[in-house]
């Protein structure tokens, strides 16, 4: 009986310390983006959808991940749908600046998790940069808000001189991941 109890306790210990990779469904998970111009006086915002999400957890704590974002899914949400001319013009412009036909996917790979801080490699337009940010986890959801520099990823490199002066460098990203196993 004692041997059975020890074996059971050992199995439970192994199970709770095992890293679990969860392939999550992407519905309910989204990246909200916001870009500003004229030092924040004006802005545009929208969403990007995930192509795939893989979360690695240990005892319900994030230990690693790999996300793939479909850049072709870019949508502008701050211009009403009935205003088709400005909506289509901005959407086309953003797809051109991000070169989504050439670089259809972006990715993020976690390299380190320390407490609530994540470090990893973000790749946009085939340019990879290390970034760090804090995240929150509640009820099967992971949330993070952070900024990236357009210049770091060559976004807007083909813009006119005026566009380069008017559009602010930072893009705010709000990432929401929902576990739907």
> Is pLDDT above 90 for 28?
no
In terms of Cα–Cα distance, which of 23, 47, 24, 25 is closest to 34? 47
In a domain, 14, yes or no: no
Using CA atoms, how far residue 45 sits from 42, 78, 91, in Å, is 10, 6, 11
The average pLDDT across 165-178 equals: 87
In a domain, 96, yes or no: yes
pLDDT single digits (tens) 137-147: 887 788 999 99
In terms of Cα–Cα distance, which of 138, 103, 135, 133 is closest to 121? 133
pLDDT single digits (tens) 53-110: 887 777 666 677 888 999 999 999 998 999 999 899 989 988 988 999 999 999 999 9
Q: How far apart are alpha carbons 34 and 146 in whole angstroms? A: 11
Residue with tokens 């072709």: 72
> Is pLDDT above 50 for 12?
no
In a domain, 6, yes or no: no
In a domain, 4, yes or no: no
Q: How far apart are alpha carbons 14 and 24 in whole angstroms? A: 23
- Name the band, by pLDDT with cuts 50, 70 and 90, for residue 8: very low
Instruction: Enter the DSSP assignment of 46.
Output: E
In a domain, 97, yes or no: yes
In a domain, 1, yes or no: no
CB 39 within 8 A of CB 76: no
Q: What is the pLDDT of residue 166?
A: 80
> Is pLDDT above 80 for 160?
no
Domain count within the chain: 1
In a domain, 2, yes or no: no
The percent of residues above 70 in pLDDT, for the chain, comes to 79
> Is pLDDT above 60 for 49?
yes
| More confident: 43 or 25 | 43
Q: In this structure, how many other beta carbons lie within 10 angstroms of the beta carbon of residue 105?
A: 15
Domain holding 159, by residue range, is: 19-178
In a domain, 68, yes or no: yes
CATH number of the domain bearing residue 119: 2.40.128.110
Q: What is the pLDDT of residue 180?
A: 63
Give the bridge partners for 47, in sequence order.
32, 75
Residue with tokens 């502008």: 76
| More confident: 37 or 135 | 135
């Amino acid at each position: 009986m004692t041997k059975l109890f020890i074996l059971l306790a050992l199995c439970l210990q192994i199970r709770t310390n095992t890293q679990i990779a969860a392939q999550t469904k992407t519905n309910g998970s989204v990246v909200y983006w916001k870009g500003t111009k004229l030092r924040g006086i004006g802005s545009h915002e929208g969403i990007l959808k995930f192509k795939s999400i893989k979360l690695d957890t240990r005892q319900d704590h994030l230990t690693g991940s790999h996300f793939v974002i479909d850049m072709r899914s870019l949508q502008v949400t701050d211009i009403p749908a009935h205003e088709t001319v400005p909506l289509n013009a901005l959407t086309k412009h953003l797809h051109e600046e991000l070169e989504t036909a050439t670089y259809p996917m972006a990715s993020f790979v976690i390299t380190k998790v320390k407490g609530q801080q994540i470090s990893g490699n973000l790749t946009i337009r085939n340019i990879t940069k290390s970034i760090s940010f804090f995240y929150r986890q509640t009820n099967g959801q992971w949330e993070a808000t952070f900024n990236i520099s357009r210049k770091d990823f060559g976004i807007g490199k083909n813009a006119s001189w005026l566009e380069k002066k008017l559009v602010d460098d930072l893009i705010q990203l709000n990432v929401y991941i929902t576990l739907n196993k």
